[in-house]
Structure 1
Amino acid sequence: MLLLSVLLATAVGQVAGLPPPQSRRGELETHIGDSDISWSTDCAYLGFDSQLPYSCANFSVPLDYTDPTSNETLELTLTRINATIQPARGSVLFNPGGPGAGGADFITGGGEEFMTVLGGQFNLIGFDPRATGNTLRFDCNEGLSDLEQLEAQPPPTVLGNASDVALGNNFASIKAQAAQCLNRTGGIGELVGTAFVARDMARIVDALGEDGLLRYWGFSYGTALGATFSAMFPEKVDKVVLDGNVNVQEYYSGWETQALVDLDGVVQGFFDGCIASPDSCPLARAGETADDVYNTVEAMLTRLKYNPIAVTLLNETTVVTYSSVKTFMFNMLYRPRTWPLVATLLDYLVDDNASLYVDARSQLRGNGTAGDSPDAITAIRCGDTAFRTDSLADLMPFEQQVVPTSTWGGLDFGLDNIMNCAPWMEKAKEVYSGDWDIKTKNPLLLIGNTYDPVTPLVSAQNNSAAFPGSVVLQHNGYGHTSLAQPSLCTAEAVQAYFINGTLPAPGTICQPDVPLFSNSTWQDAFASISLNGTVKAKRNVRYGSSSKGLMEALTELSRNVPGKPEYR
């Protein structure tokens, strides 16, 4: 495995075959006054829903930052919601994750809630990163007819535990898709890497005409983007919140063994919460303990592994399989507020009522933004990562490391990223190649959930170690990012950081205010925490009149957790 060891040794350094390192600090920096942004309120063409008035803009940036002789540009789609308290303290950029999630409508969709969390004192800026939305959209089926797109669809993914030949079959299919995508996209994949997006952000910050410093809240993959910006432009960091942290060094290596280390804890939380709230969890009838319920669901999954069920509704046939049901469970672990619904659907299958499951399941829709691009996920992530191979055998050392990190999902979900990226045929023209010991102008705030299925607390701690002076706030909740299980403590810490620059004390742990399987509204949650004496009546300096308004905003945000993948 010489290739493997060499790649790992240079995982976060220069990628073979690329130009010399281009993303070290101090190179190709932008300057205040390079350009301006022409905002317009005539944004109906975007088709975005918004609770608050917003403006939009098309902002021109270089297409290829590594080619100083080129005059080619691309236009970024930007949206802005003005601070409700004027004068504004500046603007905060957002990234919802993915990678591949559009950001322009992320802000319009959640603008009122984010405005509340930030005290109404900042303009909110959303933008579609490269490969998403209207910005150099990356689509492997671009230009194909409906029939051709149907024929180009890969076979359904079979999870590793579903078959002893699943990994080999999946990898063969992924390699074929990578080759087809390269032929259809014409080199766009080289231009959508995270380093280029960081440079786009620097251009946006300068063009805003404020102080030339970045204020930013990034979720999931957005933490890798925020960390990359902070590493490339440490002198431009004002307030940067990284929420739901991807281990950025593992991300660039392509050897991500840490992502699922808390997954079993999330699964345990689902079943513990179920047995503690039987009125909200039909599965609780399966036994007296969480283990009883867990074993009942595992038995159902095992039945489906060997005996999938075909269901025909409205002349459309769906095959309910081990892989489809377990993937549904995995995806919904991102959002604890959905767990009562998940339990209901699983209970249908425990009773062998697959028709009810399919009918209810068909009414669920993913919570992605209009700018989401499934192919962009691969183009961005895989263009950034160092590890490459077209041999399944070269992945076996990774399998041996990642599978033990989660009994429930190590084999089924732990190899997804590396298998998608290993045979990918394009590299980003620029990948951050500096070190990870960076002193920023102002310290970062990192947030990690105690129980996050894909971005564990330890990743926040590892990222923090790369930025001396930064602080990790532990959000003692479940789900993906701090928005998944609302906490006034966490929200007020974020608010204080943006408004006053106040960091929580190292070791701070914030408790969530909405219990698992509670089915509670924000009013219920606020009444409960008020009775417990954990919230004092006060008027925060924010958009809204009290902590009640903040709790309402958090509950609404928990409906659409950033960074969540499309349902499979």
Structure 2
Amino acid sequence: MRLSSIFTPICICVGVVSRVLAVTTNGTNMVYGFDSIPTSPDLQWVPCFDDFTCANLEVPIDYEDPTLGTTSIAFIKLRGENATDDAQSILINPGGPGGSGVDMLLTYRANAGPIFGSQYNAISFDPRGVNNSGLVFDCFAGNSAAKTALVRLHTPGRVNASTESIINQYYSATILGEWCDVAVRENSPYGYYVTTPAVVRDMITFIEAEAESIGKPKADAKLWFYGLSYGTIIGTTFASQFPDRVGRMILDGVVDVEQYYTNTWRDNVVQDDEMVNSFAKFCYQAGPNNCLFWGPSAENITNRLDRIMLQLEQEPIPLSGLDTGKLPTLVTVSDLKGYILSAGYEPLVYFPLLADTLVNVERGNVSTLAGVVESFGQFPDADNIIRCADTYTRNKLVTLDAYREYVEFTTSKSRYVGDIYPTSNDIVTCRGFHHNLPDSMTFQGPLPPTSNGTAFPILFASNTIDPITPIVGARKMAEGFPGSVVLTQEAVGHTVANQGGSPCYFNYLHAYLAGTMPPPHVTCPIDRVPFIDGGVMAVVEGT
């Protein structure tokens, strides 16, 4: 599933600048890209990007078959302002799949201290197959025309189980897999060895290498981890496979891991209409000076939105492009629904933009909506490669009947985005891949993941309304890990951190890191309100 918004690219692509040469300043060799950093089985941190240190960690391609050779994992560290030489490090994954932790930490460097505490080091990484790490490959081998053609063919907008759109999307779903299979066969024989269980093993290698670097036994190494969105899949997989290695683990915006590994995304739409209703409520409460789509009641706002949707459904609007120099396009209700879905990722930023867009549409200007549906296909190949490799042995969405039932389910659960959701997450694509992966690359544990007890309990976190990973996922995952707690933040949007959290939330987070679990059933009161408070620069998924 895609766990990122069309508004925010998954990666800023620091890898693009990895060819920049190292620069010597005041006797220090400062590097600005991972190509300048040696790969080593030991953590050899070198100064990088002015305020950081970086390392390329050598890891086996397959931990059960060393004859396949090794690959490299890019790590980046921001030393805490008050951190000692042996300070605890917190490893962060921003989500995805395909999200770059390197880019995230470079972008949000100022937030690590306030969120975690200045006594800790913040470390992130690009998982295998992502950006600066090894096993990255391009399914289309640079053939952008072919990729663009597939996007237009395979992203029809709304998918209705009773029309040919579902048939077209189902059968076109095999094309991406065919291109990726050929790329692996011809150019990257281990390109599919990028699964979440392999990433978990890489994290074990990292914490052991870090322990050794400060003179501690490898066997005593514990993982301190903050995972967002897809990062919660990494976290629960880790905790299931290596429960005795959990030092601290905060999982924010929790994915139902059982549905992830079986490719049966069903619960992810259950709070989408709540999100839309909250847009109307917050707009009304903010008043006409703060919300341009304001009306005399929340019901009035919702009714006007409904009329706009009906009008676009009955009368799509053609844009010739003659006045803008852009290509001709047709703005449909699918574009509006896609825009609404993406606004739910970060309402503090995007609810005001959605309000502005709706006002413009009422006035006949639909340019903001042009190309929204097509943008769903503009994600890096790593997103599909990792998701589909993870479902290799358990994919339940392989037949047309199964896909039809899935579409009927999502449509029944959300009248605003239920019929656009299958196009957005595009999980049917996985039926076209032929991975032939060894057991060492696939998750072998029970579903949902469980443990008899982790070395330290897990802290699950969720907003009261998360339209991408609803709170039911946090509650379900917590049941599998005795002693864990779900900490709830009153807010709307995807992940607590991405909405700015609250003093209450971060106080509990700091106490947890210090060794004190929050009491059960805590809900922190809302701190930042859409239309009133602006967006925040917080630790966010790249998904």
Secondary structure of 1:240's match? Answer: strand
Aligned residue for 1:15?
A: none
Distance of 1:510 and 1:80 partners within structure 2: 30
Equivalent AA in structure 2 for residue 220 of structure 1? S
Secondary structure of 1:208's match? Answer: helix
How many Å apart are 1:319 and its aligned residue? 3.1
- Please list, as runs of the form range in 1=range in 2, the aligned pairs for 1:142-291 lying within 5 A after superposition: 142-151=140-149, 153-155=151-153, 156-160=155-159, 164-186=163-185, 187-209=189-211, 211-278=220-287, 279-285=289-295, 288-291=296-299
Measured against aligned partners, the alpha-carbon deviations of 1:337-389 in whole angstroms (never above 9, x if no partner) come to 1211221012101221124x369x99xxx9xxxxx962111111111121255
Measured against aligned partners, the alpha-carbon deviations of 1:458-515 in whole angstroms (never above 9, x if no partner) come to 11011111110111101111000002333111122112211x1111100111112112
Equivalent AA in structure 2 for residue 350 of structure 1? E
Which of 65, 77, 98 is 2:74 aligned to? 77
Aligned residue for 2:315?
A: 307
Equivalent AA in structure 1 for residue 230 of structure 2? Y
Change (3 A) 1:358 1:395: closer
How many Å apart are 1:561 and its aligned residue? 3.7
Report whether the alignment pairs 1:493 with 2:508: yes
Distance of 1:491 and 1:393 partners within structure 2: 46
- Please list, as runs of the form range in 1=range in 2, the aligned pairs for 1:387-406 lying within 5 A after superposition: 387-388=395-396, 390-406=398-414
Aligned residue for 2:541?
A: 562
Secondary structure of 2:173's match? Answer: helix
Aligned residue for 1:117?
A: 115
Contact 1:384 1:427 in 2 (8 A): no
Change (3 A) 1:53 1:140: closer
Report whether the alignment pairs 1:296 with 2:304: yes
Distance of 1:268 and 1:79 partners within structure 2: 40
Measured against aligned partners, the alpha-carbon deviations of 1:154-190 in whole angstroms (never above 9, x if no partner) come to 4343222599322222222222222222112335453
Contact 2:180 2:433 in 1 (8 A): no
Change (3 A) 1:165 1:140: farther
Backbone CA RMSD of aligned residues:
2.6
Equivalent AA in structure 2 for residue 58 of structure 1? N
Report whether the alignment pairs 1:502 with 2:504: no
Change (3 A) 1:245 1:384: same
Change (3 A) 1:563 1:472: farther
Which of 430, 440, 443 is 1:432 aligned to? 443
Aligned residue for 1:449?
A: 463
Aligned residue for 1:320?
A: 331
Aligned residue for 2:362?
A: 350
Report whether the alignment pairs 1:378 with 2:391: no
Distance of 1:428 and 1:294 partners within structure 2: 49
Aligned residue for 2:497?
A: 483
Which of 420, 427, 442 is 2:429 aligned to? 420
Equivalent AA in structure 2 for residue 301 of structure 1? M
Distance of 1:147 and 1:167 partners within structure 2: 24
Change (3 A) 1:358 1:391: closer
Measured against aligned partners, the alpha-carbon deviations of 1:133-172 in whole angstroms (never above 9, x if no partner) come to 1223544445334555555544343222599322222222
Equivalent AA in structure 2 for residue 483 of structure 1? A
Equivalent AA in structure 1 for residue 170 of structure 2? F
In terms of mean alpha carbon deviation, does 293-302 or 338-347 score higher?
A: 293-302
In terms of mean alpha carbon deviation, does 304-313 or 158-167 score higher?
A: 158-167
Contact 2:46 2:54 in 1 (8 A): yes
Aligned residue for 1:36?
A: 42
Aligned residue for 1:332?
A: 343
How many Å apart are 1:314 and its aligned residue? 3.4
Distance of 2:118 and 2:93 partners within structure 1: 19
Measured against aligned partners, the alpha-carbon deviations of 1:292-331 in whole angstroms (never above 9, x if no partner) come to 2222222222222333223325311343222222112211
Secondary structure of 2:462's match? Answer: strand
Change (3 A) 1:461 1:145: closer
Aligned residue for 2:93?
A: 95
Contact 2:398 2:428 in 1 (8 A): no
Distance of 2:426 and 2:100 partners within structure 1: 20
How many Å apart are 1:282 and its aligned residue? 1.4
Secondary structure of 2:364's match? Answer: coil
Measured against aligned partners, the alpha-carbon deviations of 1:84-112 in whole angstroms (never above 9, x if no partner) come to 11315311111111111111121121122
Measured against aligned partners, the alpha-carbon deviations of 1:11-49 in whole angstroms (never above 9, x if no partner) come to xxxxxxxxxxxxxxxxxxxxxxx94200111x35xxxxx
Secondary structure of 2:83's match? Answer: coil
Contact 1:485 1:513 in 2 (8 A): no
Q: Percent identity?
A: 29
Secondary structure of 1:196's match? Answer: helix
Distance of 1:329 and 1:76 partners within structure 2: 36
Change (3 A) 1:353 1:163: farther
Gaps of 5+ in 1: 1-33, 45-51, 367-371, 522-554
Equivalent AA in structure 2 for residue 178 of structure 1? G
Contact 1:336 1:484 in 2 (8 A): no
Distance of 1:71 and 1:175 partners within structure 2: 28
Secondary structure of 2:277's match? Answer: helix
Contact 1:477 1:485 in 2 (8 A): yes
Change (3 A) 1:157 1:151: closer
Distance of 1:308 and 1:441 partners within structure 2: 57
Distance of 2:157 and 2:540 partners within structure 1: 26
Distance of 2:68 and 2:273 partners within structure 1: 51
TM-score by length of 2: 0.81
Equivalent AA in structure 2 for residue 219 of structure 1? L
TM-score by length of 1: 0.78
How many Å apart are 1:196 and its aligned residue? 0.2
Secondary structure of 1:61's match? Answer: strand
How many Å apart are 1:126 and its aligned residue? 1.0
